[in-house]
Structure 1
Amino acid sequence: MECRGDDSVFNFRRTDSTIPIWVAATVLALDQLTKVWAAAALDSQVIDVFWKLRLNLTTNTGFAFSAAQGFGPFLGVLALVVTVVLWRMRQRFSGALSNVALGMVVGGALGNVADRCFRSPRWGRGAVIDFIDLQFWPIFNVADMAIVTGVAILSVRMWFDQRGEVPLA
């Protein structure tokens, strides 16, 4: 699917390659906006939303689901390295769904790295803001949801690719 003509700047390939950028930027923006809101609105209060879902502000110096507490600087560098490696491998991911998933992982990782770099107590020692509490699972945030969902999609795609099957685009 390509626009014809010498003056055309749009074609499917170029558009397809920008999907991860737009998704990553959207995830990063949503993550940071929701964290700013949570830090302002949830300070010293818990909001019950529905059934087991509640909004409960906490900080996390570990990684996903509060594992490895206290390793914030190391985890920030590791997340940045993984993000760069994934980004450099983006040509290996074909199809819109894989590009969306890649953007989700990159945007989520950048959202949590931004917290580690710029949130208090000081540069490089910050904690990630978590606020989505299901009460039976560690508290998480929008970036965590994007990372887990993106990794799951990419894992399924790679599994299908290894089997020689073609999953959904």
Structure 2
Amino acid sequence: MNTEQQPDPSDTEEPRPAVLPRRRVGLLALAAVLAYAVDLVTKVIVTATLEGEKPVRLLGGAVYFQLLRNPYAAFGMDIGGTWLLTAIAIAVVVGIVWFARRIRSAGWAIGLGLVLAGALGNLTDRIFRAPAVFQGHVVDFISVFGPNGQYFPVFNAADSAITVGAGLIVLLTVLGRDYDGSVIPRGRKAADADGSNSADDTDGTDGTDTDDRGARS
């Protein structure tokens, strides 16, 4: 009588690779194109209708539309010459485009798409508007809580896209959602994962058979 145990076919099967979420390059590009179009169209309308005009009061004075040409960074922050701001914007655009193929999270794709659109929108002004190439002044036109930016710096749709996109990325990071679609372990889950790894190292699964060690001793 043959008592030899037959091998289980399932034991010989190679483990299947983990199925990764699909890349989100298309979603990133769509978000960037739409946000960039909004910024471009609003700036064209503003420069055509508000040049030399008084601020337009909206929502009971909560918002004002007025044309300002800004040589500084987003929200009027002065961090250096316009050439430096242009170089920073180009670096941001190149970095996001290079990183885009790694994105597998829809939230990250939208967030980076908005940041890309904002950087491209203001970069377009730096390149093509007066007073000179790479030194152009950005068109700002949204003032909240009062005209002339007396309570909050005047901004545009590109600045808003950068702020919303960056905020979304920060929120996803805090919630543990990584750019590749995976969930980052936090708190007790991370501690449990570390504990299970430590247990695996001590129960003989580190590549050394505990029975062999006992036999050798």
Per-residue deviation, residues 104-155 of structure 1 (Å, max 9, x unmatched): 0001100000000001122111010000010321000000000000000011
- Unaligned 5+ residue runs, structure 2? 1-20, 179-183, 187-217
Question: In 2 relative to 1, CA 159–93 (structure 1 residues): closer, same or farther, beyond 3 Å?
Answer: farther
Counterpart of 1:84 in structure 2 is 94
Bigger relative contact order (CA 8 A; separation at least 6): 1
Counterpart of 2:58 in structure 1 is 49
CA distance in 1, matches of 2:80, 2:106: 37
Q: What SS does the aligned partner of 2:51 have? A: coil
Question: In 2 relative to 1, CA 159–88 (structure 1 residues): closer, same or farther, beyond 3 Å?
Answer: farther
Could you tell me whether the CA contact under 8 Å between 1:130 and 1:139 is conserved in 2? yes
CA distance in 2, matches of 1:69, 1:159: 28
Question: In 2 relative to 1, CA 47–69 (structure 1 residues): closer, same or farther, beyond 3 Å?
Answer: farther
Question: In 2 relative to 1, CA 164–90 (structure 1 residues): closer, same or farther, beyond 3 Å?
Answer: farther
CA distance in 2, matches of 1:91, 1:153: 19
1:70 shift after superposition = 5.9
- Unaligned 5+ residue runs, structure 1? 1-11
- TM-score, normalised to structure 1's length? 0.83
1:61 maps to 2:71: yes
Pairing partner for 2:168 from 142, 153, 156: 153
Letter in 2 for 1:158: T
Q: How many residues get paired?
A: 153
1:80 shift after superposition = 1.1
Q: What SS does the aligned partner of 2:22 have? A: helix
Could you tell me whether the CA contact under 8 Å between 2:56 and 2:64 is conserved in 1? yes
Q: What SS does the aligned partner of 1:125 have? A: coil
CA distance in 2, matches of 1:160, 1:90: 21
Counterpart of 2:6 in structure 1 is none
CA distance in 1, matches of 2:169, 2:83: 27
Aligned-pair RMSD on alpha carbons? 1.9
Per-residue deviation, residues 51-76 of structure 1 (Å, max 9, x unmatched): 32010110111111101176211101
Could you tell me whether the CA contact under 8 Å between 1:62 and 1:72 is conserved in 2? yes
Greater CA drift, 148-157 or 83-92 = 83-92
Could you tell me whether the CA contact under 8 Å between 2:25 and 2:103 is conserved in 1? no
> Which entry has the higher C-alpha Rg, 1 or 2?
2
Counterpart of 1:164 in structure 2 is 185
Q: What SS does the aligned partner of 1:138 have? A: coil
1:98 shift after superposition = 1.4
Pairing partner for 1:122 from 101, 119, 132: 132
1:28 maps to 2:36: yes
Counterpart of 1:6 in structure 2 is none
1:13 maps to 2:22: yes
Letter in 2 for 1:22: L
CA distance in 2, matches of 1:121, 1:70: 16
1:92 shift after superposition = 4.6
CA distance in 1, matches of 2:73, 2:142: 15
